Amino acid sequence: MAHADSASGAAPVGGPAFAGDMSADVVVVGAGPAGASAAYHLAAQGLDVILAEKQELGRDKACGDGLTPSAVRELVRMGVDISDWRRNEGLRVIGGGRRLHIPWPEQVSLPSYGLARRRSDLDRDLAEHAANAGARLLTGVTVTGPVTNTAGRVVGVAARPTARFTYPGISSPTRLRAPVVIDAGGVSARLATAMGRDKNGRRPLGVAVRAYFRSPRAEDSWMESRLELWDGPANRSALLPGYGWVWSVGDGLVNVGLGSVSSHPAAARVDYRAVFARWLASAPASWGFTPDNQVGPLASSALPMAFNRKPHYADGLMLVGDAGGMVSPFNGEGIAQALMSGRLAAEAAAQAAARSTAAGRERALAQYPAALEAEMGGYYTLGRIFVALIEHPEVMRACIRYGLGRKRLMKLVSKLLSDGWERRGGDATDHLIQLLTRMVPAA
């Protein structure tokens, strides 16, 4: 299904061709986990795909670097070699004077371990994996907006190579043309925004900050989560609906951060740097969180949650990962969802490419939002209810005080919060979550 590059000035669609235009079956914008996953799965299914990324490989990204078992499952599906990545065996949850170890359970569809990998390494590995599968990876190429035809359908993107750009045979500016375009550009969602797909302000939004530290406890095999975050001095101020984490990422480093969530824009008004500084100061000295041990700056970003940008497919444009608001409102995790949505988008696009009529192609592409809703719709509706509850400090306080003492309840909570439940079969805990997600509408 390879398309020839249109350097010779083929029939223009959506405007005049530039000398260096390129075309493909699918253009994917952004080589984070969502874009790399989409590009890998598309290339593996024989499609010609361009993966355009504005930065160079190995770029930093504000993230906790934590990969739950559901992220591991997606990496295994992609055939990524994870054999020497840093594993962890579960969550150590601390709050209300208690400390609970919850191992990742061995499930039918999920492994009993998580991983942690610095995003500079993870994202480079995934982009190279997509390129090795056949995707045409263009780094240092900023996509500036969609290219549309007279019917308003996206038929490509306008792009501008950055100064350090070295891809041969393509000019600046250029157009990357394809019948299907995927916005994997993260929280900025430049293409989606340009097409009028704005954020839904009634969906939860999180904010998180993180920094790296050298630590004497960097070999810890548990992901530590601390549930008490105060917006001010402890016990004399609001208990935030969120948690702090310390996760070992290897090479003697830990990723330390915190995040909180709100069902309204108030989350963005908290001074997270101040909360982080106070929280670090209260952490056990054994972690070694001193200024001397900090490696690199504190970084922060918003967490777009619970499908806060829709539709996930319309007019030739698909949204995956953060661009489609796919971070979990339960725990702030977005990598597993980015990988999963990339896979689902690729499956629909590959089916569409094999159809012989425009109507057939649209039907196949519409399978993508339907598959997302089936997989996550009810779950994210529950997540929105969860956020609306825990943003009341008294509810959060009660959860910490009474919840952590109940082991069976915590097993359910851990599966629910980490998206670690079986969609089919499983044990009584899985059945309960399946029932709950079916009882609420996917909206």
Ligand X SMILES: Cc1cc2nc3c(=O)[nH]c(=O)nc-3n(C[C@H](O)[C@H](O)[C@H](O)COP(=O)(O)OP(=O)(O)OC[C@H]3O[C@@H](n4cnc5c(N)ncnc54)[C@H](O)[C@@H]3O)c2cc1C
Distance between first and last Cα of the chain: 36
- Which of 14, 20, 30, 105: binder of ligand X (CB under 6 A)? 30
Q: Min. distance of Cβ 231 from ligand X in angstroms? A: 17
Residues 6+ apart with CB under 8 A from 261: 204, 205, 206, 241, 242, 267, 303, 305, 329, 332, 387, 390, 391
Q: Min. distance of Cβ 326 from ligand X in angstroms? A: 7
- Among 210, 214, 332, 216, residue whose Cα is nearest residue 276: 210
Give the torsion sign (CA, 123, 243, 325, 386). Answer: positive
Cβ distance to ligand X smaller for residue 82 or 338: 338
User: Taking CB under 6 A as the rule, does residue 209 contact ligand X?
Assistant: yes
The DSSP secondary-structure symbol of 291 reads G
Apex 270 CA angle, 265 and 275, nearest 5: 150
User: Taking CB under 6 A as the rule, does residue 66 contact ligand X?
Assistant: yes
Q: Using CB under 6 A, which of the segments 234-242, 331-339, 393-401, 426-434 binds ligand X?
A: 331-339
Q: Min. distance of Cβ 97 from ligand X in angstroms? A: 26
Q: Min. distance of Cβ 62 from ligand X in angstroms? A: 4
User: Taking CB under 6 A as the rule, does residue 190 contact ligand X?
Assistant: yes
Strands, E, within 149-229: which ranges?
A: 154-161, 174-177, 180-183, 205-214, 222-226
181, 259, 265, 360, 389 from 275: Cα distances, Å: 40, 10, 18, 52, 22
Residues 6+ apart with CB under 8 A from 249: 65, 86, 116, 117, 118, 212, 255
Nearest residue to ligand X by CB is: 334
Cβ distance to ligand X smaller for residue 336 or 364: 336
Whole-angstrom Cα distance, residue 345 to residue 354? 15
Write out the binding residues for ligand X, residues 263-302 only, by CB under 6 A. Answer: 301
User: Taking CB under 6 A as the rule, does residue 90 contact ligand X?
Assistant: no
- Among 240, 330, 252, 224, residue whose Cα is nearest residue 278: 240
Contact 348, 364 (CB under 8 A): yes
Binding mask 34-53 for ligand X (x = CB under 6 A): xx----------------xx
Q: Using CB under 6 A, which of the segments 75-83, 318-326, 400-408, 434-442 binds ligand X?
A: 318-326
Peptide bond into 173 cis (omega under 30): yes
Q: Using CB under 6 A, which of the segments 6-14, 76-84, 178-186, 224-232 binds ligand X?
A: 178-186
Cα 88 from chain centre: 20
H helix runs in 227-329, sequence order: 272-282
User: Taking CB under 6 A as the rule, does residue 140 contact ligand X?
Assistant: no
Q: Using CB under 6 A, which of the segments 212-220, 268-276, 333-341, 372-380 binds ligand X?
A: 333-341
Q: Min. distance of Cβ 297 from ligand X in angstroms? A: 12
Q: Is 15 left (phi over 0), alpha (psi -120 to 50) or beta?
A: left
- Which of 29, 133, 376, 382: binder of ligand X (CB under 6 A)? 29
User: Taking CB under 6 A as the rule, does residue 208 contact ligand X?
Assistant: yes
Q: Using CB under 6 A, which of the segments 28-36, 81-89, 233-241, 279-287 binds ligand X?
A: 28-36
User: Taking CB under 6 A as the rule, does residue 226 contact ligand X?
Assistant: no
User: Taking CB under 6 A as the rule, does residue 184 contact ligand X?
Assistant: yes
Peptide bond into 441 cis (omega under 30): no
Pairing of strands 86-88, 114-116: antiparallel
Q: Using CB under 6 A, which of the segments 17-25, 40-48, 320-328, 360-368 binds ligand X?
A: 320-328
Q: Using CB under 6 A, which of the segments 83-91, 161-169, 171-179, 322-330 binds ligand X?
A: 322-330
- Among 107, 302, 405, residue whose Cα is nearest residue 413: 405
User: Taking CB under 6 A as the rule, does residue 210 contact ligand X?
Assistant: yes
Cβ distance to ligand X smaller for residue 118 or 361: 118
User: Taking CB under 6 A as the rule, does residue 102 contact ligand X?
Assistant: no
Strands, E, within 292-437: which ranges?
A: 294-304, 313-314, 317-319
- Which of 143, 178, 180, 261: binder of ligand X (CB under 6 A)? 143
- Which of 39, 115, 335, 376: binder of ligand X (CB under 6 A)? 335
User: Taking CB under 6 A as the rule, does residue 87 contact ligand X?
Assistant: no
User: Taking CB under 6 A as the rule, does residue 420 contact ligand X?
Assistant: no
Count, residues near ligand X per rule CB under 6 A? 40
Contact 48, 232 (CB under 8 A): no
User: Taking CB under 6 A as the rule, does residue 177 contact ligand X?
Assistant: no
User: Taking CB under 6 A as the rule, does residue 228 contact ligand X?
Assistant: no
Q: Which residues bind ligand X (CB under 6 A)?
A: 29-35, 52-55, 61-66, 142-143, 184-186, 188, 190, 208-210, 257, 301, 303, 321-323, 327, 332-336, 338
